């Protein structure tokens, strides 16, 4: 992998984290309302997997959706404006944190009902199969959604019809404050794929290279007609479920253990050890990203709120 690509990945990971740290600050200032679910700690999943997609592949996810939007290629200024509920936001200020979507980039959003988007991902895959394209769907979800009926119905249908969909479970060890083993009858999420005739793999998802490699292979298999596929990304969220989560359900030692494997730290160490980049080059990227985020905040703050008359616009789609 060339230096340019590696530094590009580094920039993407830092952009996601800096965006979210800024959102946390703006939330505490009361400038972002509603719920805010941070992705900090899970960056290697979105960066590694979405860098393995073809441009005509689709993305769909749950409410922890900022990173996927950034990786889809949406300008952070439209995302920041959406966070602040402004009319210039990517969902015209009416979606907010949980409903980022950019169909021009094949990014179908951001859904708040746990597991509710999984059948939608399968539906998009059915449309592509029907049209005879080589597009696949990368359908992301949390570990908690694998205990929901939608998940099982959607996987079954995808299995029956051999649909081009890659199910990506981001196992961050918790669904709200409930540890995975307290909510799931089987220990690993990947076991659930077997019930629907699907190949699956567990991935060390603190390592962006592992994620990229596994996703690339799974997408290749899908395009060769061995659809669908399933990946369980083993990861961790460093912050609470949403804002104001006192985190009483996990120990400091546990958090510390995972933080030692910070996905950005792992990439940084790789770049330094392999002499792919210098600390100065990475510091320079950090600074550029900081400025990009500041400019996005300024754009968002200066933008107007949606007009009252726009309340009933975009409620139904007339034609797509
Ligand atoms: C159908 C449904 N049930 C319950 C909720 C409340 N809820 C919101 S997030 C969440 C936890 C989901 O955990 P997981 O799927 O692991 O995703 P994570 O938050 O860890 O990314 C729950 C139970 C909901 N939004 N939708
Ligand atoms: Mg979870």
Using left for φ > 0, alpha for ψ between -120 and 50, and beta otherwise, residue 163 falls in: beta
For ligand 1, say whether the CB of 41 is within 6 Å of any of its atoms. no
Q: Per residue, what are the HEC states of the chain?
A: CCHHHHHHHHHHHHHHHHHHHHHHHHHHCCCCCCCCCCCCCCHHHHHHHHCCCCCCCEEECCCCCHHHHHHHCCCHHHHHHHHCCCCCCCCCCCCCHHHCCEHHHCECCCCCCCCCCHHHHHHHHHHHHHHCCCCCEEEEEEHHHHHCHHHHHHHHHHHHHCCCEEEEEEECCEECCEEHHHHCCCCCCHHHHHCCCCEEEEEECCCHHHHHHHHHHHHHHHHCCCCCEEEEEECCCCCCCCCCCCCCCCCHHHHHHHHCCCHHHHHHHHHHHCCCCCHHHHHHHHHHHHHHHHHHHHHHHHCCCCCHHHHHCCCCCCCC
Judge whether 17 and 268 are in contact, CB under 8 Å. Answer: no
Evaluate whether residue 320 is within a structural domain: no
Best of 114, 173, 174, 189 for a ligand 1 pocket test (most atoms within 8 Å of beta carbon): 114
Evaluate whether residue 98 is within a structural domain: yes
Judge whether 216 and 52 are in contact, CB under 8 Å. Answer: yes
pLDDT in tens, 234-287: 999 999 999 999 999 999 999 999 999 999 999 999 999 999 999 999 999 999
Mean pLDDT of the chain: 97
Evaluate whether residue 161 is within a structural domain: yes
Evaluate whether residue 310 is within a structural domain: no
In the reported structure, the alpha carbon of residue 40 is separated from the centroid of ligand 2 by a whole-number distance in angstroms of 13
Q: Whose CA is nearest to atom 21 of ligand 1?
A: 142
Q: Whose CA is nearest to atom 5 of ligand 1?
A: 114
Note the pLDDT of residue 89. Answer: 98
Which of 149-158, 219-228, 275-284 has the lowest average pLDDT?
219-228
Evaluate whether residue 198 is within a structural domain: yes
Tell whether the model's pLDDT for residue 319 goes beyond 70. no
For ligand 1, say whether the CB of 114 is within 6 Å of any of its atoms. yes
For ligand 1, say whether the CB of 111 is within 6 Å of any of its atoms. no
pLDDT cut 70: percent of the chain above it? 99
Evaluate whether residue 312 is within a structural domain: no
In the reported structure, the alpha carbon of residue 239 is separated from the centroid of ligand 1 by a whole-number distance in angstroms of 15
Provide the CB-side half-sphere exposure for 294 (13 A, CA): 6
Distance in angstroms (rounded) separating the CA atoms of residues 141 and 212: 17
For 227-240, what is the mean pLDDT? 96
Evaluate whether residue 278 is within a structural domain: yes
For ligand 1, say whether the CB of 113 is within 6 Å of any of its atoms. yes
Provide the domain limits for residue 283.
3-302
Ligand 1 atom showing the smallest separation from residue 171 Cα = 16
Note the pLDDT of residue 227. Answer: 84
pLDDT in tens, 81-95: 999 999 999 999 999
State the total domains in the chain.
Answer: 1
pLDDT in tens, 23-68: 999 999 999 999 999 999 999 999 999 999 999 999 999 999 999 9
pLDDT-based confidence at residue 315 (cuts at 50, 70, 90): confident
Tell whether the model's pLDDT for residue 320 goes beyond 70. no
Domain containing residue 158: CATH number:
3.40.50.970
For 218-237, what is the mean pLDDT? 95
Evaluate whether residue 17 is within a structural domain: yes
């Amino acid at each position: 992998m060339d230096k340019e690509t590696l530094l590009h990945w580094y920039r993407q990971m830092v952009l996601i984290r800096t965006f979210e740290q800024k959102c946390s600050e703006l939330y505490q200032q009361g400038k972002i309302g509603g719920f805010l679910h941070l992705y900090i700690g899970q960056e290697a999943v979105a960066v590694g997997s979405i860098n393995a997609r073809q441009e005509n592949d689709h993305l769909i996810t749950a409410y922890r959706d900022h990173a996927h939007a950034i990786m889809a290629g949406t300008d952070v200024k439209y995302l920041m404006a959406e966070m602040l509920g402004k009319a210039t936001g990517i969902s015209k200020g009416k979606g907010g944190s949980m409903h980022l979507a950019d169909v021009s980039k094949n990014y179908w959003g951001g859904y708040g009902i746990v597991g509710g988007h999984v059948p939608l991902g399968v539906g998009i895959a059915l449309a592509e199969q029907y049209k005879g394209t080589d597009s696949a769907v990368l359908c992301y979800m949390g570990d908690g959604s694998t205990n929901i009926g939608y998940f099982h119905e959607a996987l079954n249908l995808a299995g029956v019809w051999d649909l081009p969909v890659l199910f990506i479970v981001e196992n961050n060890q918790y669904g709200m404050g409930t540890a995975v083993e307290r909510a799931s009858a089987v220990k690993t999420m990947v076991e659930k794929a077997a019930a629907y005739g699907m190949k699956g793999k567990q991935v060390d998802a603190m390592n962006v290279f592992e994620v990229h490699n596994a996703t690339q292979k799974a997408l290749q298999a899908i395009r060769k007609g061995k659809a669908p596929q399933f990946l369980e990304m083993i990861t961790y969220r460093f912050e609470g479920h949403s804002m104001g989560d006192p985190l009483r359900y996990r120990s400091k030692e546990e958090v510390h253990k995972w933080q030692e494997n910070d996905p950005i730290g792992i990439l940084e160490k790789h770049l330094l050890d392999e002499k792919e980049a210098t600390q100065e080059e990475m510091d320079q990227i950090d600074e550029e990203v900081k400025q990009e985020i500041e400019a996005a905040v300024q754009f968002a703050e200066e933008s107007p709120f949606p007009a009252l008359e726009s309340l009933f616009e975009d409620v139904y789609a007339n034609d797509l």
